[in-house]
């Protein structure tokens, strides 16, 4: 009797302990965080799930923003760094998988367990890659029928290579033209294990192609709704973590730079046009751009200018030689090098400052131009394509954001504009800003 009562007490205690454990692991008892207040209101308590949800919204908002603004945005295949832990583990696992398949196929008699699982996985993935055609899907299900394949393996008549040829045929009918070369290489392979490994790699690339194709189809829809989506998510983030304070750092930045944006500057005098052949200027500009693109700080300028001098000397002498003219003499070369090297000295950087001012002026004029981007000034002609792409991106960003119209409610202390923002009108698919 006493033993029975003791057992009942133990069961009750176990039940209470289980209830308490379940309660402690529930959502209401999860680890919580205190978010300090920025506007004088009481601190806010949030769970880890709420914090994760907010940051997920921010990541999605960033992705939608990138898709809407960047017409070149595409998904890319993720590959971990070769020497990273993840990369080494991935390489080891993949090698082990294919080694097992090869070992089983080379046995006498062959063992097809791994091969059957591989064909089943391919059968499951193929419908995601092919055109939704009923006859094609029926054919795939008939040929890659797992029961039939298993029966063939048990009877010793399974032709694994013929299944590879069938899969290659199906993929060749559905892949993009960019993958035709990869499909042709598959057809030439003799080793069946290497063939199936390449088939899976091709299927991964086709999945990426399909994802980018669907993204391109949805781009217009995303662009049309991303402004409202970003506004809602940003307002939610603002409410959860900033209260009614807004974005003080952003507003301070706007205040500091507002005077620079609105300040009128006199147009600089255009320099005389340099009488050189356009093809030589364009070629030299590209070469100098390559040399200077790795310059990150002032300590690297002198060495880069030395390389620029050598490049200019080689190109000019080559051009002179083509026209049957003598090379530049030592005095001319010394003068050229002296002028170039002076650019690295601060007292002689007026030319650099002048070029910078001309660039800023051209950008401002282009942003205020009516329905077109004006031709670049002398000295920038060789970079016209890059400048046009840059200004088009800025115009698209201005047209998209319209900061004071879209986010004005979230920044109550932002400065009021004295005039309406510039209107954006599309021209040849590129947003242009008209004068206010």
**In this model, does residue 18 exceed pLDDT 50?**
no
Other beta carbons within 10 angstroms of residue 218's beta carbon come to 11
Residue 411 corresponds to which tokens in the numbers above?
């920044």
Q: Residue 333: is it exposed, middle or buried by C-beta count within 10 angstroms (0-12/13-18/19+)? A: middle
Contact by Cβ (8 Å): 404, 414: yes
Q: CA–CA distance from 63 to each of 56, 75, 211, 223, 398 (Å)?
A: 11, 11, 15, 11, 18
pLDDT (average), residues 138-158:
89
351: pLDDT confidence band, cut at 50, 70 and 90? Answer: low
Report the alpha-carbon distance of residue 383 to residue 362 in Å, rounded.
Answer: 13
Q: Of 17-26, 156-165, 202-211, which gets the smallest average pLDDT?
A: 17-26
Q: Of 49-53, 118-122, 135-139, 229-233, which gets the smallest average pLDDT?
A: 49-53
At residue 342, the pLDDT reads 79
Length of the chain: 436
pLDDT (average), residues 271-294:
68
At residue 5, the pLDDT reads 52
Buried b vs exposed e over 248-268: b needs ≥16 C-beta within 10 Å? eeebeebeeeeeeeeeeeeee
**In this model, does residue 433 exceed pLDDT 70?**
no
Write out the DSSP string of 71-85: TT---------TTSH
Contact by Cβ (8 Å): 309, 336: yes
| Residue position matching structure tokens 């400052």 | 353
Contact by Cβ (8 Å): 158, 149: yes
**In this model, does residue 53 exceed pLDDT 60?**
yes
At residue 48, the pLDDT reads 66
Q: What's the whole-number average pLDDT of the chain?
A: 75
**In this model, does residue 424 exceed pLDDT 50?**
no
Please state, for a pLDDT cut of 90, what percent of the chain lies above it.
10
73: pLDDT confidence band, cut at 50, 70 and 90? Answer: confident
- Outline where 70-191 has alpha helix (H): 85-106, 113-125, 134-143, 146-155, 160-174, 180-188
**In this model, does residue 173 exceed pLDDT 80?**
yes
At residue 420, the pLDDT reads 44
Please state, for a pLDDT cut of 70, what percent of the chain lies above it.
72
Name residues whose C-beta falls within 8 Å of residue 270's C-beta, 6 or more positions apart in sequence.
377, 378
Contact by Cβ (8 Å): 97, 178: no
At residue 261, the pLDDT reads 65
Report the alpha-carbon distance of residue 141 to residue 251 in Å, rounded.
Answer: 61
Domain positions in the chain are 85-213, 277-433
CA atoms within 13 A on the CB side of 371: 1
Q: Of 84-88, 152-156, 190-194, 287-291, which gets the smallest average pLDDT?
A: 287-291
Longest dimension (CA), the chain: 120
At residue 429, the pLDDT reads 40
Higher pLDDT, 163 or 42: 163
Global confidence as pTM = 0.52
Q: Of 29-43, 55-69, 140-154, 215-229, which gets the smallest average pLDDT?
A: 29-43
Report CA torsion sign: 353, 355, 361, 367. negative
Contact by Cβ (8 Å): 177, 209: no
Q: Of 140-154, 254-268, 331-345, 416-430, which gets the smallest average pLDDT?
A: 416-430
Report the alpha-carbon distance of residue 352 to residue 346 in Å, rounded.
Answer: 10
Residue 207 corresponds to which tokens in the numbers above?
């999945």
Nearest residue to 380 via CA among 300, 270, 295: 270
């Amino acid at each position: 009797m006493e033993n029975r009562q003791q057992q009942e007490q133990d069961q009750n205690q176990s039940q209470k302990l289980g209830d308490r454990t379940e309660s402690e692991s529930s959502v209401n008892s999860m680890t919580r965080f205190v978010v300090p207040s920025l506007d004088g209101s009481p601190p806010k308590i949030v769970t880890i799930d709420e914090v994760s949800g907010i940051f997920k919204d921010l990541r999605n908002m960033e992705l939608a923003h990138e898709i809407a603004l960047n017409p070149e945005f595409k998904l890319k295949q993720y590959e971990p760094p070769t020497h990273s832990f993840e990369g080494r583990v991935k390489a080891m696992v993949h090698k082990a998988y294919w080694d097992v398949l090869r070992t089983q196929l080379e046995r006498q008699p062959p063992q097809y367990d791994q091969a059957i699982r591989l064909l089943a996985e391919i059968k499951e993935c193929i419908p995601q890659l092919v055109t939704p055609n009923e006859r094609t899907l029926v054919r795939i299900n008939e040929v890659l029928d797992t029961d039939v394949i298993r029966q063939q393996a048990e009877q010793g008549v399974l032709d694994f290579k013929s299944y590879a040829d069938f899969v290659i045929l199906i993929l060749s009918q559905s892949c993009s033209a960019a993958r035709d070369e990869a499909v042709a290489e598959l057809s030439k392979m003799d080793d069946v294990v290497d063939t199936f490994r390449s088939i899976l790699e091709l299927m991964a690339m086709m999945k990426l192609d399909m994802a980018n194709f669907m993204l391109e189809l949805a781009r217009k829809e995303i662009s049309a709704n991303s402004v409202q989506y970003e506004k809602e998510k940003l307002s939610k983030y603002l409410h959860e973590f900033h209260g009614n304070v807004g974005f003080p750092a952003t507003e301070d930045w706007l205040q500091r730079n507002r005077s620079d944006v609105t300040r009128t500057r006199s147009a600089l005098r255009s320099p005389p046009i340099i009488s050189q052949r356009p093809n030589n200027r364009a070629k030299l500009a590209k070469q100098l751009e390559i040399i200077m693109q790795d310059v990150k700080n002032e300590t690297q300028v002198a060495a880069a200018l030395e390389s620029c001098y050598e490049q200019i000397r080689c190109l000019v002498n080559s051009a002179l030689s083509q026209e049957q003219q003598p090379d530049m003499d030592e005095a001319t070369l010394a003068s050229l090098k002296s002028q170039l090297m002076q650019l690295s000295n601060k007292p002689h950087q007026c030319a650099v400052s002048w070029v910078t001012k001309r660039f800023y002026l051209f950008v401002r004029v282009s942003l205020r131009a009516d329905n077109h981007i004006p031709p670049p000034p002398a000295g920038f002609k060789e970079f016209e394509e890059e400048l046009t792409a840059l200004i088009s991106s800025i115009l698209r960003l201005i047209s998209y954001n319209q900061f004071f119209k879209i986010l004005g409610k979230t920044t109550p202390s932002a400065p009021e504009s004295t005039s309406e923002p510039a209107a954006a009108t599309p021209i040849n698919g590129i947003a242009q800003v008209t004068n206010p």
